[in-house]
Amino acid sequence: MTAVKTFPGGIHPDYNKALSAGKPTVKAAAPSVAVIPLHQHTGAPCDPLVQVGDEVKLGQKIGEAKAFVSAPVHASVSGKVTAIEPRPHPALGQSAAVVIESDGRDELDPEIKPSGSVEGLTADEIRKVIREAGIVGMGGAAFPTAVKVSPPPGKKIDTIALNGAECEPYLTADHRVMLEQTDDVVYGLRALMKACGAERGLIAVEDNKTDAVEALRAALRGTAERIEIVLLHTKYPQGSEKHLIKACLMREVPSGGLPLDVGVVVNNVGTAAAVARALRQGTPLYERVLTVTGGAVASPQNLLVRVGTSFRELIEQCGGFSRPAGKVINGGPMMGIAQATLDVPVIKGTSGILCLAREEVVRDEPEPCLRCGRCIDACPMNLMPLWIAAYAERGRHDEAERYNALDCIECGACAYVCPARRPLVQAIRLSKGEITARRRRQAQAART
């Protein structure tokens, strides 16, 4: 019997995945107007390659990544550029975006053609394909994938781990990708392994997705590379990079460090599938699978969506609101970002659109800390959230830093279990921002 692996700490929230888990992915209607932000990734935003009035093709590069940590963006429809201006953004509040009025023809950019095979391309060539395709982490963080598979000198990567845990409640998009794009997931993993010279591949899946495990095992038969499925205990935040590595490999990423410090690169299963399409068809990342779900949605679904489609359009394609919505979130309930408007576009990192009914939204006023210690027991990073938050609320960020505030992954487990409803994550996030800003000022002063 296969051992089920996990990590210390964590929580078991209500997962509510049954709303969409068994529903095959449906192709969403292409937007009549696509609003494509030039900043959809960790790192520097893109510079526009088009001007107002230009005609563009589907898949055409419209934003160039000048910085190393960045990723280009591509048109998700063919049509005419009608504006390049700041627009609402689901993660940043507002960002410069290219607005394209679709001509309804979906004429493909003639530059899009197969790039080659894993066997026929060198590691450098695979990394170039990944970068040109604008592929980023599709689990939510949206870190440029080409950067991940380009380790600095002296950093040897021996393992590529694919994250198929999808531990965030409500979301089922990755589950559908593993079931419906199984061959692409495996092919993309093989490409990622070659890109950074890793001898070993892992696909980590929680034990509540046994159908995905069986599909992946079938797809791996006959594969020459050393790839295995690792079964994980269903627990939150099992999909966190550091905790996935701890569970699968018993390696601990050091404080302030990265997975590559322990020889590992972690990618989302959707990212691997996007890499496969970039190689096999030359398709850049202009669409993705996401979940539209929650108690306020009439018909929760998993959708294949073009980047630049508004939340409003997708909710309408799912039957609209069956009950008054109390909150609409980009992502899941634990780490997602609540939206002020439905007129925000899907970006590469949008894993879901969660629409909670008013009665599902907890609005209790926070009470004084009870010193119960539940947040400490739940914290997967072995931190003391109550003390970090207390110092943060008082502006004592030096003390918060001494309690390792920067190691917080903002998973929300502490706030979830807090009986006093303390806004622990918000306070810690504030302190992290202050600490980072101070370090940046100190570094700049040292350079001058």
User: What is the structure's pLDDT at 448?
Assistant: 78
Question: What gap in Å lies between CA 445 and CA 241, rounded to an integer?
Answer: 33
pLDDT value at 38 more than 50: yes
Look at the pTM and tell me if it is higher than 0.85. Answer: yes
pLDDT tens sequence across 149-190: 998 888 899 999 999 999 999 999 999 999 999 999 999 999
261, 155 contact by CB (below 8 A):
yes
User: What is the structure's pLDDT at 2?
Assistant: 66
The residue assigned the tokens 């408007």 is: 341
User: What is the structure's pLDDT at 211?
Assistant: 96
Domain ranges of the chain: 17-21+113-280, 374-447
End-to-end CA distance of the chain: 61
> Beta partners for 252?
none
pLDDT tens sequence across 383-396: 999 999 999 999 99
Q: Which of 184, 189, 79, 63 is nearest to 132 (CA)?
A: 63
Poorest-pLDDT segment among 115-124, 139-148, 346-355, 409-418:
139-148
pLDDT tens sequence across 70-105: 999 999 999 999 999 999 999 999 999 999 999 999
How many C-alpha atoms does 48 have within 13 Å on its Cβ side?
A: 18
227, 203 contact by CB (below 8 A):
yes
pLDDT tens sequence across 282-327: 999 999 999 999 999 999 999 999 999 999 999 999 999 999 999 9
User: What is the structure's pLDDT at 46?
Assistant: 96
Query: What are the φ/ψ torsions at residue 357 (nearest 5 degrees)?
Result: -70, 160
We find that the CATH architecture of domain 17-21+113-280 is 3-Layer(aba) Sandwich (3.40)
Residue 356 — pLDDT band, cuts 50, 70, 90?
very high
Q: What percent of the chain has pLDDT over 90?
A: 92
User: What is the structure's pLDDT at 1?
Assistant: 45
Per DSSP, the residues of 16-48 read: -GGGTTTPPPEEPPPPSEEEEES--SSSPPPEE
Question: What gap in Å lies between CA 166 and CA 175, rounded to an integer?
Answer: 7
> How far lies 289's CA from each of 19, 110, 318, in Å?
16, 25, 14
